[in-house]
């Protein structure tokens, strides 16, 4: 490789879905594209009851080579118990595509002097995670917010963020203008969501710059798609059919930060004269997102179609002082287990897995419904799935699998690369690089930690 060539090093997201950490270097300018944690991160050495020790910073992580040992990236504090000496930041910025943890979680280890760039909505989503005590702590950083249309000049690079449609608000792809030509990074995206127009706009712009290289996600690149996948309007329609034809309670399970899914259930609720019952955490998130006028979410405090479910506290009561400060804000909209029991045909309730024990108090009528609106389990031996079904059987709830993926199908992935026509492509966030290459010959097979010239 010639010394001054623009190059890419993939420190994460290689042969796995998630954990993207991509270093782009253009002579003396270096930026990371995402700095996430993979879904299987540390699973060989750690489990729910054996975790890396927080006070040891990166010490326990480096022991098992769980994060790349690179100089000029991590904070002094995080390196204190490692054999990697601290060095001043050698990275000019980190660009976050969206707020899913497999794209952002490891920024907690970064030197606070490395500027972080992300969408306005992404910052709000991160704040909500931190404020509601979700064990999320992204650390202190220099935050820079962007929107579509911005052109961020950083050393030899100009970075153009462009909003795309994904299963979380404020997701972006990037066109990075390097000294050798434009490089496109998709982040995570889909072409069948409610804002597919955003993705189409991104693809059009990416194609127009005639990129020398493209880094493309490949989540659904697989020999055979075994799971049922709908579009978001189909999710709404199918859910509507379930709700319209029952006089029992309807519970839903879906990713808390998938606002498109929230909207689908919100609309189904309105159409069927049922109130949407959300958690205080979701109410907090919505309240946060109101600040981003582009997202147009309802205000849980003002909207009559929304109520907020509170769990009983230790005292067996609902004393304000027993709840976190952030939770108390929504108590005017409070409903409890007795309310849900009495109004089963008038509600659609968010019930994530961690809240299942509430069913004991709610005592839903036999034949009530659970709409499971998230990915099906990866394996048949999935313990959580077995436990969930045991609960459903116990309470005689009817199970419905109704989900729209956050990612494009295999056919659309291939189509997208062919439309954009990069000279060279790199597939991240996928378990099937080889298969992807059989459809797109411009694909360069990548290995973790290796450096590749962009052309």
Contact positions toward Zn ion, by CB under 5 A?
Answer: 100, 188
In the complex with Zn ion, the residue whose CB is nearer, 92 or 188, is: 188
- Residue 417 CB, shortest distance to Zn ion, in Å, is 19
Q: What is the Cβ-side half-sphere exposure of residue 317, based on CA atoms within 13 angstroms?
A: 5
In the complex with Zn ion, the residue whose CB is nearer, 118 or 454, is: 118
- Residue 252 CB, shortest distance to Zn ion, in Å, is 20
- Residue 188 CB, shortest distance to Zn ion, in Å, is 4
- Residue 435 CB, shortest distance to Zn ion, in Å, is 21
In the complex with Zn ion, the residue whose CB is nearer, 100 or 177, is: 100
- Residue 429 CB, shortest distance to Zn ion, in Å, is 8
- Residue 73 CB, shortest distance to Zn ion, in Å, is 23
Alpha carbon 400 to its chain's center: 23
Strands 443-444, 334-335: pairing is: unpaired
Six token digits for residue 169: 């608000």
Six token digits for residue 363: 């005592």
Phi, psi of 110 (to 5 degrees): -75, 155
Which among 57, 103, 52 is positioned nearest to 79, based on CA atoms? 57
- Confirm if 183 and 191 have CB atoms less than 8 A apart: no
In whole angstroms, give the CA distance from residue 303 to residue 299.
6
- Residue 71 CB, shortest distance to Zn ion, in Å, is 29
In whole angstroms, give the CA distance from residue 36 to residue 102.
4
In the complex with Zn ion, the residue whose CB is nearer, 60 or 102, is: 102
| Close Cβ partners of 300 (under 8 Å, ≥ 6 residues apart) | 278, 282, 283, 286, 287, 306, 308, 330, 333
In the complex with Zn ion, the residue whose CB is nearer, 24 or 428, is: 428
In the complex with Zn ion, the residue whose CB is nearer, 100 or 257, is: 100
- CA distances (Å), origin 245, targets 125, 242, 381: 35, 6, 33
Q: What is the DSSP letter of 99?
A: S
In the complex with Zn ion, the residue whose CB is nearer, 13 or 364, is: 13
- CA distances (Å), origin 64, targets 60, 211, 446, 447: 7, 37, 22, 19
- Residue 171 CB, shortest distance to Zn ion, in Å, is 7
- Residue 103 CB, shortest distance to Zn ion, in Å, is 6
In the complex with Zn ion, the residue whose CB is nearer, 160 or 188, is: 188
- Residue 244 CB, shortest distance to Zn ion, in Å, is 32
Q: What is the DSSP letter of 18?
A: B
In the complex with Zn ion, the residue whose CB is nearer, 26 or 188, is: 188
In whole angstroms, give the CA distance from residue 18 to residue 306.
33
In the complex with Zn ion, the residue whose CB is nearer, 189 or 307, is: 189
- Residue 166 CB, shortest distance to Zn ion, in Å, is 6
Q: Give the alpha-carbon dihedral of 148, 153, 156, 157, to 10 degrees.
A: -10
Coil, helix or strand for 217?
strand
In the complex with Zn ion, the residue whose CB is nearer, 128 or 272, is: 128
In whole angstroms, give the CA distance from residue 200 to residue 198.
5
In whole angstroms, give the CA distance from residue 402 to residue 372.
6
Q: Could you write out the DSSP letters of every residue in 134-191?
A: SS------EEEEE-TT--EEETTEEEEEEEE--SSSSEEEEEEEETTEEEEE--S--S
Coil, helix or strand for 416?
helix
């Amino acid at each position: 490789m010639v010394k001054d060539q623009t190059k890419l090093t993939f420190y994460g997201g290689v042969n796995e879905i998630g954990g993207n950490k991509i270093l782009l270097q253009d002579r003396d300018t270096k930026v990371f594209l995402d700095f996430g944690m993979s879904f299987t991160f540390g699973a060989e050495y750690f489990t729910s009851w054996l975790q890396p020790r927080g006070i040891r910073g990166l010490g326990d992580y480096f022991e098992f080579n769980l994060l790349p040992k690179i100089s000029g990236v991590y904070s002094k504090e995080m390196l204190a118990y490692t054999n990697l000496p601290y060095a001043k930041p050698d990275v000019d910025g980190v660009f976050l595509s969206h707020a899913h943890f497999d794209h952002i979680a490891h920024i907690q280890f970064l030197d606070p002097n490395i500027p972080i760039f992300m969408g306005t909505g992404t910052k709000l989503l991160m704040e909500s995670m931190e404020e509601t005590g979700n064990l999320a702590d992204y650390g202190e950083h220099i935050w820079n917010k962007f929107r579509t249309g911005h052109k961020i000049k950083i050393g030899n690079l100009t970075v153009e963020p462009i909003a795309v449609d994904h299963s979380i608000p404020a997701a972006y792809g990037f066109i990075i203008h390097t000294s050798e030509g434009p490089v496109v990074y998709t982040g995570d995206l889909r072409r069948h969501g409610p804002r597919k127009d955003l993705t189409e706009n991104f693809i059009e712009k990416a194609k127009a710059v005639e990129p020398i290289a493209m880094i493309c996600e490949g989540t659904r690149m697989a020999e055979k798609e075994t799971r049922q996948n709908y579009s978001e309007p189909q999710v709404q329609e199918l859910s509507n059919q379930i709700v319209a034809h029952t006089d029992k309670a309807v519970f839903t399970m879906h990713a808390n930060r998938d606002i498109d899914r929230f909207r689908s259930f919100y609309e189904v609720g309105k159409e069927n004269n049922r109130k949407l019952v959300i958690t205080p955490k979701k109410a907090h998130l919505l309240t946060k997102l109101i600040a981003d006028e582009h997202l147009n979410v309802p205000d849980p405090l003002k909207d009559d179609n929304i109520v907020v479910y509170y769990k009983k506290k230790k005292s067996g009561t609902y004393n304000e002082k027993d709840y976190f400060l952030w939770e108390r804000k929504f108590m005017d909209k409070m409903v409890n287990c007795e309310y849900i029991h009495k109004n089963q045909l008038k509600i659609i309730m968010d019930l994530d897995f961690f809240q299942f024990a509430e069913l004991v108090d709610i005592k839903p009528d036999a034949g009530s419904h659970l709409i499971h609106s998230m990915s099906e389990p990866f394996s048949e031996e999935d313990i959580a799935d077995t436990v969930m079904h045991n609960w459903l059987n116990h309470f005689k709830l009817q199970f419905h699998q109704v989900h729209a993926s956050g990612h494009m199908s295999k056919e659309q992935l291939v189509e997208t690369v062919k439309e954009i026509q990069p000279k060279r492509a790199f597939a991240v966030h996928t378990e099937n690089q080889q298969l992807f290459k059989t459809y797109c010959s411009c694909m360069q097979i990548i290995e973790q930690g290796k450096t590749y010239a962009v052309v």
